[in-house]
Amino acid sequence: MRHNPRNVKAPALPASPEPVSEHVYRELRKAIVRCDFEPGTRLRVEELTRRLGVSSSPVREALNRLAEQGIVSTLENRGFRVARLTSDGVADLVRVRLLVECEALSDSIAHGDDSWEAGVVAAAHSLALVERRLGDGPRALDDDWSARHRAFHLSLYAACTSEILRDLVDVLFDRAEHYRRWTAKYRQAPRRKHDEHQKLMAAALARDTEKAVELLRRHIARTGDLVGAVLDGGPPEWIQ
């Protein structure tokens, strides 16, 4: 059964000086990545404006930005829908992630200072704490784990000197997260990433660029393989 977007609780409007358009963009991106909407779901501007309590202009602006990032698809009649998830799509995403994230990691290791190292260690520790709290329970669909997992990966690239690379990493990670969150519902065996993260952190802090990049390649490729395997056997209505 398809999820009805009207049942999703409306986020509060920002109390900070953040522009409404930016707030709407971030909330919609978060909701889609978190799988509040099923892949392929029609995103009706009028429904989203009512839910968010804003005019149609920032909603359309947000949807167009998300379409540029591949999280949302545009329709021929100028409407929008959540991007479909496909095995070809995740293979292409993995290919681009390897190009972008390995370069970002290499540059970050080369230029990272003491503050960067401290940030990586802190993010890894924060992730380990939530994993300890969850124990053997499911992690992939836990919002707190997902946020800390994202923070750890982005901390590795934080010292990258290219703003363009950092922006690309941010967008690509969310696209990968969309795939990961959705297929986690159907994956038979849970994946424990703690050891992979610890080894990746250790190699990065040791400034062993070659080893760190190879570990990252395996990490990204492994995720792609698991997601692709689920999509190949998933329900036909959302893998088209």
* Domain match, 213 and 135 both: yes
The pair of structure tokens assigned to 197 is: 């993260």
pLDDT for residue 17 is more than 90: no
Q: Where is pLDDT greater, at 58 or 231?
A: 58
14 has pLDDT over 60: no
157 and 104 share one domain: yes
Residue 9 carries which side chain, given as an amino acid letter?
A: K
> What does the pLDDT look like over 64-87, one tens digit per residue?
999 999 999 998 777 899 999 999
192 to 141, 144, 155, 208, 216: CA distances (angstroms): 13, 16, 20, 24, 15
Contact at 8 Å (CB) between 80 and 67?
Answer: yes
Query: What predicted TM-score, i.e. pTM, was given to this entire model?
Result: 0.82
Q: What is the pLDDT of residues 92-140, one digit of tens each?
A: 999 999 999 999 999 999 999 999 999 999 999 999 999 888 876 557 6
Residue 54's domain spans which residues? 13-82
153 CB-contact burial (10 Å; exposed 0-12 / middle 13-18 / buried 19+): buried
Q: Give domain status of residue 1, yes or no.
A: no
pLDDT at residue 234 in the model: 52
Span 227-239, mean pLDDT? 65
The identity of residue 190, as a single letter, is P
Q: Is residue 5 part of a domain?
A: no
Mean pLDDT of the 157-174 span: 96
Q: What is the pLDDT of residue 134?
A: 82
Provide, rounded to the nearest whole percent, the portion of the chain with pLDDT above 70.
85
Same domain for 71 and 95, yes or no, is no
Same domain, 66 and 158: no
Which whole number is the average pLDDT over 204-218? 97
Q: How far apart are CA 75 and CA 84, in angstroms?
A: 12
What's the confidence (pLDDT) of residue 188?
Answer: 58
One domain, residues 60 and 91 = no
Q: Is residue 96 located within the same domain as residue 212? A: yes
Average pLDDT over residues 169-185: 90
205 token code pair: 């802090």
Q: For residue 18, what is the domain's CATH number?
A: 1.10.10.10
Alpha carbon 173 to its chain centroid, in Å, reads 4
Whether the per-residue pLDDT at 10 is higher than 80: the answer is: no
Residue 3 maps to a domain: no
91 and 55 housed in the same domain: no
Last residue of a domain, one of 82, 101, 135: 82
**Interior angle at CA 8, CA 140 and CA 188, nearest 5:** 25
pLDDT of residue 174: 93
Check residues 206 and 224 and name the one with the higher pLDDT.
206
| Residues present in the chain in total | 240
Residue 194, pLDDT score: 78
Residue 137 is predicted with a pLDDT of: 59
- What mean pLDDT value characterizes the chain? 86
Residue 197 and residue 97 in one domain:
yes
137 & 217 share domain: yes
Are 145 and 213 found together in one domain?
Answer: yes
Residue at a domain's end among 60, 82, 104: 82
* Model confidence at 157: pLDDT above 60: yes
Q: Beta strand pairing status for 72-74 and 42-43? A: unpaired
Q: Do 202 and 104 reside in the same domain of the chain?
A: yes
Q: Is residue 178 part of a domain?
A: yes
Q: Return the higher-pLDDT residue of 37 and 190.
A: 37
Q: What is the pLDDT at residue 25?
A: 93
pLDDT at 19: 84
Contacts of 25 (CB under 8 A, 6+ apart): 58, 61, 62, 65, 66
* Shared-domain flag, residues 43 and 62: yes
